[in-house]
Structure 1
Amino acid sequence: MKITKRAVFTLSLSGFAPLVLADEASQAFIPLTVKTSSAQDEAKGFIEDSSVTGSTRNWFAKEKGKRGLTWGINKGNGVTERTGSRDTWVQGTIVNYTSGFTQGTVGLSTEVAAYNTVALEQGKGRVAGGGNRTLTDHNGEAVDQWTKAGLANLKARVSNTVLTAGRQSMNTPVLAFIGNRALPSSFEGVSLHSAEFDNLDFDLGTFSRVSPRTEQSLSKFRTEYGNGTTTDQVNIFGLNYQPLKSLTTSLYASNVKDVWNQYYFGASHELGDASVLGLTTGFNYYKTKDAGSSKMGAIDNDTYSLSLTATHKAHSLTLAFQEVRGDEYFDYLHETNAIFLANSLFSDYNGPNEKSFQVGYGLDMAGYGVPGLKFSVYTARGWGIDGTHYKGGGYDGIQAQDGESHYEYGFGTSYAVQSGPLKASTVRATYSAHRASANQVDGSLNELRVVTTIPFQIL
């Protein structure tokens, strides 16, 4: 049955080929060439090229539990009261100082960013422990305001290669900052980014701590879905290569010390012309295998997603299939966004042996004379979640997931200011609903989010 469905799906796509190819995007090969220019040769000086910029984000969310989902409120004396709703309202502000690079063969630079959050909603019963949304104290009370150094690093540059040491931001398939709250996460370590070729660049890094979105102190790395096992070291290596004008690829690997080795391959290909019909194909694949002392137990997981997005002028339609092959979750590091999979939505659709499918539609109103205004709607469903064959270790409890399923739907709108003093400011409102069977990990809830982000420049 699976083979038949896939064959029919493939044939249906082939029927669109003549239209897609009506104005085909260039498939020309790009030779691997060394850059003729050097970023360091263009350095303007440590002070001369420095800047002070930032942003402030108003982040509001209202959650409502369904099918018995509740959050705990610490009432003191060991008493916890349950509530079916949770509210978040915080203001996060970033002020970032970035120096220029000194001139010479080796350029030196620094970057320092202060992160501040003010809790606009402080009702103990409303924030319901805060989670990863509102920072609370040991009594469950919201911390009214707090500040930390979100970034603090030194950089050295030779030609087009930069070495960074300290607290920094990374965005790779195996270690990526997550910015879906009032403030983003960041990482403590050393990294090297080399872009000496026109269509090939490399990343290399070793990291010891993560600065979470809603915490003041640094934390050890741990997995998102595991039992709380921590590690002191995460090593990454990877490259991004563009062999064709229409094709970009990425190949990455990471070692989470004594937990796993994880390997990633991704590719994105463009075909046609969006003014007639464009088709973007995305493929993502992760292989995760336990490593070292295997603190999380045996892990042997293969997870992939395949997405197809057809675009015609202002309209886009996305179909995406995702599959987990393994008796444990497809997992990634907590406080990161290192899950470059098509169906990572409200839910990650990463349960043991889970299959999922998504349909999404987007409308860009620039095509109708309103640039900056966009609408989207989507639905996704996951099925076949089966952890009954898990042998034990870091995901104990997953064995109860036997034939679990879930689904979600959502819609949203966003607007980016196009000009004036508030240029590039954005407002986004989204509504999501998720429904799960009894033992699916995400539970059932509705959520409304309204997020406003305003960038600014001081110097």
Structure 2
Amino acid sequence: MKLSSKALLALAISSITATAYAETQSQDFVPTTLAGTSAQSEAKGFIEDFSLGGTTRNWYSHESKYRGGTFSYQKHGQTLTDRNRTNWVQGTILNASSGFTQGTVGVKTEVAVYNALVLDRSKRDIKGGSNRTLADSNGDAVDQWSKLGLANVQFRVSNTTLTAGRQNFSSGIVDTIGNRALPSSFQGVSFNSEEFSNLSFQGGVFDRVSPRSEQSLSKFRTEYGNGAETDKVSTLGVNYQPLKSLKTSFFAANVKDFWNQYYFGATHELGDAQQLGLTTGFNYYKTVDEGKKEMGEIDNDTFSLSLGLTHQAHSLTFGYQQVNGNEYFDYLHETNGIYLANSLTSDFNGPNEKSFQIAYAINMAEYGVPGLKFNAYSARGWGIDGTHYTGNNGRAKFAYDGIQSQDGEKHQEYGVGASYALQSGPLKATTVRATYVEHRGSEFQSDGSIKEFRLVTTIPFNIL
């Protein structure tokens, strides 16, 4: 019961239009009972259920800053700047996965090799790479590189699985992010238990992250912080579906010496989308400082509410988001741990910020073109106020830079997108997605003013 697929993530808003083909959503209560079957009892065997396959993704992005903004790069020991940055990478994942052995305790292994081939190697174009193209200390692109993206062993009893090693994990706080040529992954131990019909439990302890555009493992740091690192993230949560139409999720996480964070999310569906359906999503985060307070003193409450109306092929969605705190709503870097309605190119997460988004999507299957979807959105944020931020009060080495200069800052973002998924043939499920986004910020708003065009083609393949 992953709430991320229901949240309003604008460039994936087409997921909401899928409800346009559902029947009237039942509001019946779902009793909690033991799961009717045991996944382990149906295990086929270590070799018998072996699979080999993966995906290859062509990821292209061109960005342009404006209103005085520039990117910088080094050439012959000199710092040069211009408005543009281009990254073009082919990322390929080859995944080998065994089946579970038979018996009371099943065992399986999973290994995935990640490979990146840089198609645009110009130092001027990639601007040092950031989290898009891997570059060396001189700013030159690493032409080709590989790593173990996944390497784990799994143990299963009944419907409960324990995973140890490098792995994917998905929750409202710690979530694999896959919006580059290659995704991130985490190193540690986790479990997933689905012993009940409508109630599941998840948890994990992780000490390293495998970044999207790096070869080596890294310690965890935050998306908006100034470089502090931690080597322990612990999380535990529950997913519960009390009604056929209502899904909820609650997770807590301890990020050692950074913060304790708590997440609650709920999605509810009502009506018949052939006539008129309503999808409501609510997400709430509470973050408080912890331990050595490496990110300074934090007391932050952030929430979002989205309302999506669907009629056949059409979807119109409204999202409101509010940050109550004198610091950013922050989350772990190299994760997708931000299930907020207005997390777009900008996260709309400035201190005390309020934001509103309106989005439209259409699924062309209703008009005889299955697999083709379009979307457009516009979002505005206002009231950003970091003047009351007290910094670290001498307690920590790292803090949020420049936040106290944000006084009444505002920004706006709009975007359009189109995607197509092949419905049949040898390339079935291949997806092509093009997006254009423009963001404009006031003088001290942290994201600046930037335009970006992306073209991403993802091709899945099976070998065995």
C-alpha separation between the residues in 2 aligned to 1:235 and 1:438?
38
1:64 and 2:64 aligned:
yes
The separation in 2 between residues aligned to 1:108 and 1:167, in whole angstroms, is 16
**CA separation in 1, counterparts of 2:353 and 2:452?**
24
Q: Which amino acid aligns with 1:105?
A: T
Structure 2 counterparts to residues 216-227 of structure 1, below 5 A: 216-227=215-226
Post-superposition Cα deviations, 1:205-237, rounded to whole Å, max 9, x if no partner, equal 100000000000000000110111110100000
Higher relative contact order (CA 8 A, sep 6+): 2
In 1, Cα distance between equivalents of 2:380 and 2:401 = 25
Asked if structure 2 preserves the Cα contact closer than 8 Å seen for 1:83 and 1:128, the reply is no
Question: For residue 58 of structure 2, what is the amino acid of its counterpart?
Answer: N
CA distance in structure 1 between the aligned counterparts of 2:188 and 2:91, rounded to whole angstroms = 24
Paired amino acid for 1:131: S
CA distance in 2, matches of 1:235, 1:94: 27
DSSP-derived class of the 1:307 partner: strand
1:98 aligns with 2:92: no
Kindly indicate whether the alpha-carbon contact (under 8 Å) linking 1:297 and 1:392 is maintained by their aligned counterparts in 2.
Answer: yes
**Alignment partner of 1:403 is 2:403:** no
Instruction: State the partner residue of 1:341.
Output: 340
Matched residue pairs, number?
Answer: 437
1:206 to 1:453, Cα distance in 2 relative to 1, 3 A: same
Deviation at 1:297, TM superposition (A): 1.2
Distance between the aligned counterparts of 1:225 and 1:73, measured in 2?
Answer: 22
State yes or no: 1:362 paired with 2:361.
Answer: yes
In 1, the alpha carbon distance for the partners of 2:200 and 2:74 equals 49
Structure 1 residue ranges without an equivalent (≥5): 1-22
**Take 1:454 and 1:69, find their aligned partners in 2: how far apart are those partners?**
35
Aligned mates of 1:119, 1:44 — CA distance in 2: 40
Percent identity of the aligned residues?
66
Determine the structure 2 residue equivalent to 1:427: 432
Task: Map 1:14-413 onto structure 2 (within 5 A).
Answer: 24-77=24-77, 79-393=78-392, 394-413=399-418
1:415 corresponds to: 420
**Contact 1:50/1:100 (<8 A) preserved:** yes
Q: Where does residue 452 of structure 1 map in the other structure?
A: 457
User: 3-state DSSP class of the match of 1:222?
Assistant: coil
Counterpart AA for 2:46: F
**RMSD of Structure 2 on Structure 1 (CA):** 1.0
Q: Give the C-alpha shift of residue 395 in structure 1.
A: 1.4
Shift of 1:36: 2.3
Separation in 1 of the partners of 2:47 and 2:24? 47
CA distance in 2, matches of 1:396, 1:317: 37
Secondary structure at the residue paired with 2:218? coil
Once the two structures are TM-superposed, the CA of residue 392 in structure 1 deviates from its matched residue by 0.5
TM-score when normalising by structure 1 = 0.94
**Displacement of 1:293 after TM fit?**
1.6
Q: Specify the code of the residue in structure 2 equivalent to 1:29.
A: F
Output one character per residue of 1:152-206: Cα deviation in whole Å (capped at 9) or x when no partner: 0000000000000000001110100110000000000000100001111000110
For 1:259 and 1:376, the matched residues in 2 are separated by: 37
Cα-to-partner distance string for 1:1-57 (whole Å, 9 max, x where unaligned): xxxxxxxxxxxxxxxxxxxxxx85211000000012100000111010010010000
Contact 1:321–1:343 (8 Å) recurs in 2: yes
**Superposition deviation, residue 396 in structure 1:** 3.7
Shift of 1:391: 0.3
Amino acid paired to 1:58: N
**Secondary structure at the residue paired with 1:367?**
helix
Equivalent AA in structure 1 for residue 43 of structure 2: A
